[in-house]
Amino acid sequence: MTYKDILDSLPYSEPFLFVDEILSVSEEAIKGTYTFQPDAFFYRGHFKGNPVTPGVILTECMAQIGLVCFGIYLLMEEAISKKTTFALSSNEMEFYIPVYPGEKITVVSEKIYFRFQKLKCKVRMMNEKAEVVALGTLSGMMINGKKNKE
């Protein structure tokens, strides 16, 4: 599975896609990046006159790279359909410094365990100066989606 295959398998699209590239991935860890675009929708109101990336968006970015991309890689041979979803089941995050519009961050996620389609990881987000922005633990699981009623 290539990095492009992982990105192509993501169940997200703009404006809620927070992964630009995967730098490395193995059975034990993944590393990826994202640049927060200055015109992102959430900066209009967070905060007036002083835009800062909301913690919930930072957590989502960490989950997309550190759980979903990592989970897709770990599930390589299993069937991941368009209806497959990934659910965050728990998180514990600490935020240290803000992320401003235009900043590029790097997320590193290290596997604690992966069993029964549940992945738990230690994650950290760093800015371009290699300063720790956020640090914590995320858990998530793959859920086979149900057929939508049309």
Q: What is the DSSP letter of 75?
A: T
Closest CA to 36 of 132, 126, 103, 111: 103
Closest CA to 34 of 105, 83, 86, 84: 105
Helix (H, G, I), strand (E, B) or coil at 34: strand
List 12, 23, 46, 127, catalytic entry: 46
**CA gap 104, 82 in Å, rounded:** 29
146 is catalytic: no
Active site residue ranges: 46
